[in-house]
Amino acid sequence: MKGRFGEFGGQFLPETLMPAAAELETAYEAAQADPAFRSELARLLRDFVGRPTPLTDARRLSEAVGLERVLLKREDLAHTGAHKINSAVGQALLAQRMGKHRVVAETGAGQHGVASAAACALLGLECVVYMGTEDMRRQAPNVFRMKLLGAEVRPVESGTKTLKDAVNEAIRDWVTNVRNTYYLLGSAIGPHPYPTMVRDFQSVIGKEAREQSQALLGRLPDVVVACVGGGSNAIGMFHAFLGDGAVKLRGVEAAGHGIATGEHAASIVAGSAGVLHGTRTLVLQDDDGQIRGTHSVSAGLDYPGVGPEHAALHASGRAHYVARTDHEALEGFTLLSRMEGIIPALEPAHAIADLRAIAKEHGAESIVLLCLSGRGDKDLETVMKELG
């Protein structure tokens, strides 16, 4: 069935949006089949985003964590500082092609909001970004960046005042202004066709990294690891390796204060099947099916669901998912900064924090490819407070 990943996925949308979702699917398929769209996207990825991003052989880090080699896919070096721009540029181009001059987006950490604002500025589109007030507080520099780029940032006061509620508000805006508005969803979540489309736009990460690994090593890595909130950088990285049975795929969720405390955002490790934001996936919910509040030091992982394709990869066993705490992520943050001179975002710091466990589980001789999905400038204030 359309938009299904095993038992997950689908289109749980108000009727008002069903025709819009169908229109989006048709437009996306036509765009993908159009050489002019593909070459324009390739041009923007090269000249605006700065692709391909490098693959860095992190020698001191690998020694520190007890692995043969750790290769970092440097999405932190992409324009606007994270992988989010890959999909934002692709979708903004699609919005323009569809004749939608107004774009709405949600943002958690602010990276997707900044990427959307930048892509919209580039293409001359109006951009409205919904952001929880709790996230606006902890990601203040990104709020200012979005405004500089000409976007309107609308504070979301409802619910938990984080990413989940920003998605609700963006969907409410989309349902209200559906005729002229494109919803530029930031992760591989939501109703079909978003999980597929966002994954396709992000799969450039894995395609490049696979080639770069081959060129550097003459072989593929043993383990590919990425952090998972909604899971867009991870699915973009994993996708190129799905057919390589020998390559282990590993997603790292946010364990917050620890899974046992209930204060975390580990939807795969500790969630159950449910319907959230238009898709059937693994979600954090209570016995009555109410979506639970989440906690993570990293705003970008602070989400009570996950992309349906990850839920399916977990169910099939093709990918393995673990969770690392705030504390471990802060250690990972510091470790990468000191060992490699790279300050990571708190999101991929969770993946850095998992490297020692990978060494233990898969052996010290393992070669690990890690998606460094973003840079840490936005997190300095949070980290200063935490590490004070």
Please say if 158 is a catalytic residue. Answer: no
Q: Which position among 64, 121, 175, 259 is part of the footprint of other proteins (CB under 8 A)? A: 175
- Give the x/- contact pattern for other proteins in 196-235, rule: CB under 8 A: ----------------------------------------
Please say if 373 is a catalytic residue. Answer: yes
Rg of the chain on CA atoms, in Å: 19
CB of 160 to other proteins, least distance (A): 9
Interaction of residue 13 with other proteins, rule CB under 8 A? yes
Closest listed residue to residue 204, CA positions, set 312, 46, 349: 46
Q: Which position among 277, 310, 314, 324 is part of the footprint of other proteins (CB under 8 A)? A: 277
# binding residues, other proteins (CB under 8 A): 35
180 vs 214 by CB, closer to other proteins: 180
> CB within 8 A of 42, min separation 6: which ones?
none
Interaction of residue 288 with other proteins, rule CB under 8 A? yes
Interaction of residue 287 with other proteins, rule CB under 8 A? yes
Assign 198 to helix, strand or coil. helix
CB of 12 to other proteins, least distance (A): 5
Assign 108 to helix, strand or coil. coil
> CB within 8 A of 68, min separation 6: which ones?
62, 364, 365, 366, 367
Interaction of residue 56 with other proteins, rule CB under 8 A? no
Please say if 298 is a catalytic residue. Answer: no
Q: Do 352 and 336 meet the contact criterion of CB atoms below 8 Å apart?
A: yes
Q: Of the listed 25, 62, 73, 84, which one is catalytic?
A: 84
Q: Do 291 and 276 meet the contact criterion of CB atoms below 8 Å apart?
A: yes
CB of 114 to other proteins, least distance (A): 24
- Around Cβ 304, how many Cβ atoms within 10 Å? 24
Assign 78 to helix, strand or coil. coil
Please give the Cα distance from 279 to 11 (Å, whole number): 6
User: Which residues are annotated as catalytic?
Assistant: 84, 106, 373
Residues in contact with other proteins by CB under 8 A are: 10-20, 158-159, 164-165, 168, 171-172, 175-179, 274-278, 283, 285, 287-291
